Structure 1
């Protein structure tokens, strides 16, 4: 997916809302700018996650999935936004 943004005089760059929503980037989300040969890549710093930390007790408290089993290939294609939507 490609999107366009503009650098403001203050140096700020506004990331389009649909991109922020899909990537679960809330205000204050730490981001890393990686310089590439032809531009930059914007991503979460390594080791960060859009999901809150959970303990084993938190995991045990989650409701059990009652649907049909899915192959790992289908599950691994889910985006972070898809997973967040399923967990709500």
Structure 2
């Protein structure tokens, strides 16, 4: 699909309505301008996800983990994490 538009004195361009509608670019959509060898590309910047509160994040983790055993102490959890990093060589910094 090829459309034409003009650059205004302020450097603005109008994206045709049918294109905006098809791409779901509503008022306030943030566009990234990518300059490449074949020309300029516009793409919608992904919308930022709402940050979860600590309680919401923990509830999500608990639901995902679905752990039914006894409560694990912080010391035991930290020891297990340390062991994981020691044994998993993909975490080693590059030389």
Larger relative contact order (Cα-Cα within 8 Å, sequence gap ≥ 6): 1
Structure with bigger gyration radius: 2
